[in-house]
Chain A
Amino acid sequence: MQNSDSLLSIRHLTAGYENDMILDDVSLEIFAGDFIGLIGPNGGGKSTLLKVILGLLPPLRGEIRVMGQDVRQGRKHIGYVPQFVEADRAFPVSVWDTVRMGLLNGWRLFERLSAAETERVQAALEQVDMLPLRNKPMGELSGGQRQRVFIARALVSDPKILLLDEPTASVDPNVTKDLYELFRQLNQRMAILLVSHDMMAVSSFTKTIACLNRKLVYHNSKELTAEMLDSVYGCPVDLIAHGVPHRVLPAHSEHSHG
C-alpha cells in the first residue's frame, strides 16, 4: 500500500494484555477523504483501538503513526469527539469555554485567545449551528446540542482526522440524521473515523465500513462481504437478523442504495 497521503497508519497492531489480546494483528490505513464506519460487537475492541489511536494506551506490538509521526505528537491532528465527558451536568462551563478547550496544546500559561483563535472558535460553533447558544452553560443543553459542542471542540484545532466515538448514542433519531448530515459536510474537509454500533446509520451514511472483533476486516468498500461475516463472527449478526433497510449484502443482491 502506498503511503503518500496516508493520514493514519496502523500496521500489525496488537494491544491488550499478553494473555488477553483485545486487538490482534490489526492493520488500517486512513486516507484523506475517507469516511469509515467502524462497527463491531461490544467487547470487540472498538474502544481499545480508539485508545491506541489517541496515544492513551501503548500497543504491545506493531506500529501506529498519525501524519507520519508517533501518536503522541501526531494526535494533535486528530479531532476527538468522545461518547461521554467525564464531568457531570452540574459542571459549570459555558459552550464557548468548552469549545476553547480544543485550542489547548501543551503548556499554555495565562492563556488568552488571539483574534485569530477567537475567530476559529466562532467558526467552529457556526459550523455546528451552536453560535447563538455560545454563552449557555453546558448543563442546560439537550443531548444533541451537547454533541454538537463536542464536535465544535474537536473542529477548532483544524484536525485532519475526525474521530467520533458513538456520536449518536444519546440523541434521538431526528437529531441523528442531522448529525450525519453534518458529518457528510465535514467529510469534504477531513477524513472521518466513526465508531458505532448503530449499524443502520453507519451503513447508510459512511463511505466504507470496517468490522472489528479482535481482528479487523476492512476492504475499503461499503459492502459487508461473506468474509467479514465469517471472520468477524458476531459482528453483523443483528444486521442480518433485523434486515436493516438501505443495507445490501452482496450475497443476496447486487443493487446498491443512493
Chain B
Amino acid sequence: MTRRQEDETARGEADHLADLPICMRRREVLAAGAAGAAAAVIYPQMAAAGANTGSELQRYPRMKVASLSALRDGEPVAFNYPLNQQPNMIVKLGAEAQGGVGPDSDIVAFSVLCTHMGGTLRGRYKHQFKSMGPCPFHFSTFDLTKGGVPVHASATQNLPQITLEVDGDDVYAVGVTGLIYGYRDNLADGSMAEGATMDGATRRG
C-alpha cells in the first residue's frame, strides 16, 4: 500500500470516530486530521465483513515487505502481514534496535494496532524518539528500539514486532512476536496477506 493509499483509507475510516472512546478532546482530533496526518483515525479492519474466513495458517508465511535500497530514514512503509487484515509498518530507525536488520541493524517492523484497545498508531511514528504513539485512544507510547516495550502506556503487551530477514536487497517478513490486537491467534480468523507465500514459511512462535 502506498502512502497515498494509506491516507485515502484513513479518510474513509473517519466515520468510525463517533462511537469510540477518545481521550483527546474532539477539536484536537479534528485539528490533527486537518493537518493532513492520518493520526487520529481508527483502523476498522477487524469489523470488515468477511474478515473471518475461518481459515487458519499453521506457520508464518514469508513475504517481501520492502527493499533495503528504497527505505529512507524515518519514513515508514505500510504492509499487511501475516493476514490481509493485519496492518503493520516497516521503518529504518537510523539507530540500532532489538531485532533490527540491514547493515546498521536499524530496520524494524511493527503492528500499528495499539495493544491496549486497538487504536491505530499509523502516522504516529516519531523519528526523533524512535517511538510509536501516543495512541489517540488512551496515549500508549512504544519504544521501537527496544522490542516495542511500552514507554508510558495502558497497553499490557509490547507492540507486536514483525520478524524480518534480509536477502540481498529484499526485506522479508517471516514471523511475529506478540499477539496482534483483536486476534486470539495471529494466524487464525483471516486470509493470508496478499503477496505472502508458504514457501520458506517459518515455525510458529
Q: Do A and B come from one complex?
A: no
